[in-house]
Structure 1
Amino acid sequence: MDYSFDFEKIYNDYWEKLTAFSLKMTQDEQLAQNVVQDVFIDLWERREEISIASVENYLFRAVKNQIFKSYRNEKFDKTILEDKFENYLIENLSTIESDLTDKIYALLDTLPEKRKEILLMNKLQDMNIDQIASELDLSKQTVKNQISSALKQLRHGLKEFTFLFM
């Protein structure tokens, strides 16, 4: 198999998406570019050793793990990045593998109606906690609790896709 051709195609297909993803998670352009570069270098160096079922899943997971590794070395609180990653997943459902998308929609349907409404208002309509609380006549704390509970429920329901949340 001609790995250089495959690598070039993979690189051309994914470098822009991965850099945008990395930048969204890190908010640091230099770090984002370095992370993506490190992932592609690792992929190239290990090209004959690894077998990848889904290139996209592998690359996004590798970028996420590389960011965590970078921040872990700096003793950074990774919960901030996990929140950003959850937001990215929700914002980019259309680019995620269809099995995962189907599972997320199924899990959304299992949420209590009010919790689902609050989560969708926050993540899909980009409304902040104050706006949601005002619109639904709820306390800010209730809105925060509902968003947190919804994300925990989704996280729990997506255990079979744990490679995304490592």
Structure 2
Amino acid sequence: MKEIQQLEIFIRTYYSFMCATAFHFIGSQDLAQDITQEVIIKFWQNKEDLEIRFIENFLYTMIKNEALNYLRGVERENKRISKLEIETSEDSHVLNLLIAEETNQLLIQAINQLPTQSARIMRLVLSGYENKEISQVMGVSVNTIKTLKYAAIRKLREYFDSHPELVTIL
């Protein structure tokens, strides 16, 4: 019973000081209270083994160390999270590159199934050429290029529609 009364007196005497000190380091009232409670428990459990001349200085040091340990833990956790985010974004980037490469390979295979002139037009379209430029390269009219291009696109659609297993990969 005497032990409980001593603890109550200790808490009434030092709790506000300890909370204010923790708040100074942490900046959160709730966390400051949690840290203060942890320090009180540690202090009270070990008080018999401690030789203390100035209790306020000792409690200040305990609070400071506990607060700094908490902040270091938060910093480590934030580093872990940011590292995971970086790894996840890198994994996502690599996965997107792989999907894009596989998609290109499937498209190239489909284009190779087209008649020679249509396949050439589609390769030039994918290289960024406009209809007018393609007509100049191939020596045919722009209308012929448009007709062959749209016919090739229709055949590519039919190819992918008839091969649904290729589309599910994408």
Q: Structure 2 length normalisation: TM-score?
A: 0.40
Q: Which has the higher contact order (CA 8 A, sep 6+)?
A: 1
- Structure (1/2) with the larger helix percentage: 2
Bigger CA radius of gyration: 2
TM-score, length basis structure 1: 0.41
